[in-house]
Amino acid sequence: MSLDDLSAAIARHNLSVSASDCERLCRYTELLWDWNTRINLTRHTDFESFVSRDLIDTLQLSAQIESGQSVLDVGSGGGVPGIPMTLLRPDLTIALAESTGKKANVLTTIVQKMDLSVSVHAARAEDVLKKHQFNVLTARAVAPVRKLLFWLQRRSGAFGQLLMIKGPRWTAERDEAEAEGLLENVSLDVIHEYRTPGHDSNSVILSVKYNR
């Protein structure tokens, strides 16, 4: 697979990505997929799945974040959306939280090899928030809404907004969180909805803000 293959996949989905960003995204996938042969980091191991899922999600999510914000990517795994967002949005200050030590080590290696100004925390997000504050938290394929809110509720003063990418089951997840009393003093809203290629249902971006 080559840069031309990535460029072709981006063109098929009518996405706007500069040539220089495309080159850096290609370098990221090379590093990610090489590590993926040794440790499970992603199921998206070709350019079509990377673009149609990872890149589209990243672009849709980053469009909801204002310029100059500090962002913590919760449960970053293989680095999506945090690392692609770093490449596409240099105006943001981005950190990654990954509690699995081996994955965090891989992220650190990728960040170093790509010379990115990204902090990697080998810790759970709620522990990172004990010492650091962020404007925005992002969460993609990490946990149900109720679990995320339970984990983060005691650190709500350390961030301004939580953005979650969710599928069609988001309403059931919201209801579960409400049944457990986790939506008290919380504003939860759908701020964006978009079609994911190859899927019948739409994805949504949920915004959570704590009422203080």
Does residue 200 carry a pLDDT above 80?
no
Structure confidence at residue 147 (pLDDT): 97
How confident is the model over 148-152, as a mean pLDDT? 96
Of the candidates 74, 82, 79, 124, the one whose C-alpha atom is nearest the C-alpha of residue 103 is 79
Does residue 85 carry a pLDDT above 80?
yes
Query: How far is Cα 131 from Cα 129, in angstroms, rounded to an integer?
Result: 5
Query: How far is Cα 20 from Cα 46, in angstroms, rounded to an integer?
Result: 20
Structure confidence at residue 1 (pLDDT): 67
| Residue 2 pLDDT class (50, 70, 90 cuts) | confident
Structure confidence at residue 199 (pLDDT): 75
Query: How far is Cα 72 from Cα 53, in angstroms, rounded to an integer?
Result: 20
Q: Which tens digits make up the pLDDT trace of 96-142?
A: 999 999 999 999 999 999 999 999 999 999 999 999 999 999 999 89
Of 1-10, 95-104, 177-186, give the lowest mean pLDDT range.
Answer: 1-10
Going from the N-terminus, what domains does the chain have, and what CATH number goes with each?
48-210 (3.40.50.150)
For the chain, give the mean pLDDT.
Answer: 95
Structure confidence at residue 103 (pLDDT): 97
| Residue 192 pLDDT class (50, 70, 90 cuts) | very high
Does residue 212 carry a pLDDT above 90?
no
| Residue 151 pLDDT class (50, 70, 90 cuts) | very high
Share of the chain above pLDDT 90, in %: 93
Structure confidence at residue 198 (pLDDT): 74
Does residue 9 carry a pLDDT above 90?
yes
Query: How far is Cα 147 from Cα 164, in angstroms, rounded to an integer?
Result: 12
Of 62-71, 128-137, 138-147, 197-206, give the lowest mean pLDDT range.
Answer: 197-206
Does residue 74 carry a pLDDT above 70?
yes
